[in-house]
Structure 1
Amino acid sequence: MDKKRIIRNIVLFFSVLVGVGGLLTVSANAKSKGATVLRNTKISKTSNRAVSGYIYTSAKLTKKAHNADNYPRTTFYTYRSATVRKANGNKAVYYYVKNGNGKVKGWIWRGNLVQLLNFTKQRAELRRIISLINSISTKNRQNVIKLLETINSHDSIASVISKLNTLSKTFNNSSDVKKIQEINKILLEDGKQIIQLTQSLINKSYTTIQSIHQVTQQVVNFVNFILNLLP
């Protein structure tokens, strides 16, 4: 074998090695593009619809299992929450979800989930608010009703709570004050959902997806709904 041929074979050999090394580097880089899981915790089970995005096999987001667009009417239940750092350095929160039979499952960005509401709790709270108002002493009850009648489209849940709180400071009956405080606590913790319930009752159609539009007008509708139920 002549010298030139030997040199050519050596160059070819090293070229192959460099090529393989390059492939290995690309492969390693591809794997490194997965997300880093910073925290993985159990969360309460809620019902949701997936509106967009992909469902991944793991919180590392290296493999897509499903396209959420293919499941527009499927109810997904949440089980775990993972805070991850993506390859671009940004943090995001992904939920581990399953459908009813557990066949469609994986990790999806929480921003692609819309929670479905079960109005059972809100119905009970609405009945409780009406019961509390009815149990307030006559004079104070009349003042509460007068206040509610002044609520307009400029009022929010926060302003209703504030006005009720201010009114309660004029009460001499400590029991009535506690009832107003309980009403305000319910409104503070679950007011938007209760308002959505009353709005859906007014519309005679139960809207299950949590979406509050024109909240100020719905506050007025909510108050009027309560006033109509008071004797």
Structure 2
Amino acid sequence: MITVLCTILGICFLSVQSTSANTKSATVISTAKLIKAPYHAVSGYIYQSTSLTHKQHNADHYPLTTFYATRSANIIRPNGNKAVYNYIKNGNNHIHGWIWRGYLVRVINVQKQKAAINKLVSLIDALTPFSHDKVTSLLKNVGRKESLNTLLSTLSNLSSSITDTSDIQKIETMYKLLKSDGQTLAAIFQNGLKKLYTGVIALHQFNNQVFKLAEGLLALIPD
């Protein structure tokens, strides 16, 4: 702000007073480490820190860049709304910062996921008739809102009720596959298997609901 000051002798001079607008910072509630995974940023700004006061990059400028998310933060934005932001960086770490999770889409290695789906179907198909019926019955009873954790828990309980050693090993392998890739596979079935083509795909919807996964596996299991 510039103020004109005058003395009683009529001499005037300028007084410059600097004012700074205080930008309200976001508040971090909690943070967590993420398993490093590839994403595309489809929109929004990449911020320097979780305070969300300084925009470093506009994600619109990097539509084909692969970013890797390594951390997440639950944040209360300056407007009072809660949101989750992920820390991302590109391969050479030249572009990095915090972005709202909703602007990220996961990049999927299609061949790896095809192999996982085929492995699950093969394992189920190779079970003895008794265990095969148990597993398919389990999949048929998966509810529309059922979570991956519930499916894993039920599968684990199922293995304890089976006596055939070979079947137990197969179910344990299924459990490990679903534990490591279940969320990705659920997203693939949710979005439609037709998206599984050679190369990579980007999937936006990632949640723990496994109804479509169970339904999709049942459709692939031979009668």
TM-score tier by shorter-chain length is 0.5 to 0.7
Out of 36, 39, 44, which is 2:35 matched to? Answer: 44
* Larger strand fraction of residues: 2
Closer/same/farther in 2, CA of residues 68 and 133 from structure 1, 3 Å limit: same
1:36 touches 1:84 (CA, 8 Å); kept in 2? Answer: yes
2:197 alignment partner, one of 202, 205, 210: 205
Report the CA distance shift for 1:220/1:43 in structure 2 as closer, same or farther (over 3 A).
closer
Q: Does the alignment pair 1:67 with 2:58?
A: yes
Residues 85 and 91, structure 1, Cα contact 8 Å, conserved in 2: yes
Q: Which runs of 5+ in 2 are unaligned?
A: 1-5
Kept after mapping to 2: 8 A contact 1:192/1:212: no
Q: CA deviation at 1:167?
A: 8.6
Equivalent pairs counted in the alignment come to 212
Residue in structure 2 matched with residue 129 of structure 1 by the alignment:
120
**Alpha-carbon distance between aligned partners in 2 of 1:168 and 1:41, rounded to the nearest angstrom:** 32
| Structure 1 match to 2:215 | 220
Worse overlay, 56-65 or 219-228:
219-228
Instruction: Report the secondary structure of 1:58's partner residue.
Output: coil
Relative to the length of structure 2, the TM-score reads 0.63
Q: 2:3 is matched with which residue? A: none
Letter paired with 2:202: I
Matches within 5 A, 1:61-140: 61-119=52-110, 122-137=113-128, 139-140=129-130
Note the aligned Cα RMSD (angstroms). Answer: 4.6
Residue 136 of structure 1 and its aligned partner are, at CA, apart by: 2.5
The answer to whether the 8 A contact 2:121-2:220 is kept is no
Q: Which structure dedicates a bigger proportion of its chain to helix?
A: 1
The 3 A distance-change label for structure 1 pair 157 and 55 is same
1:54 CA drift (Å) = 0.6
The question of whether the paired residues in 2 share the 8 Å contact of 1:56 and 1:62 is answered with yes
1:143 corresponds to which of 133, 138, 159: 133
**Is the contact between residue 125 and residue 186 of structure 1 (CA under 8 Å) also seen in structure 2?**
yes
Give the Cα separation in 1 of the matches to 2:172 and 2:160: 11
CA deviations over 1:103-122 (Å, ceiling 9, x no partner): 22222122221222234654
- Provide the rounded CA distance (Å) in 1 between the counterparts of 2:33 and 2:163: 47
List per-residue Cα deviations over 1:154-213 (Å, max 9, x = no partner): 87776x959989998986657646755764675576445335556865566256222469
Q: d(CA) in 2 for partners of 1:147 and 1:83?
A: 39
Q: Are the aligned partners of 1:78 and 1:95 in contact in 2 as well (CA < 8 Å)?
A: yes
In the alignment, is the contact (CA less than 8 A) between 1:53 and 1:68 conserved in 2? yes
2:91 alignment partner AA: G
- 3-state DSSP of counterpart to 1:108: strand
2:101 maps to amino acid: R
State which structure, 1 or 2, has the greater radius of gyration over its C-alpha atoms.
Answer: 1
Identity %: 37
2:8 corresponds in structure 1 to 6
SS in 2 for 1:208: strand
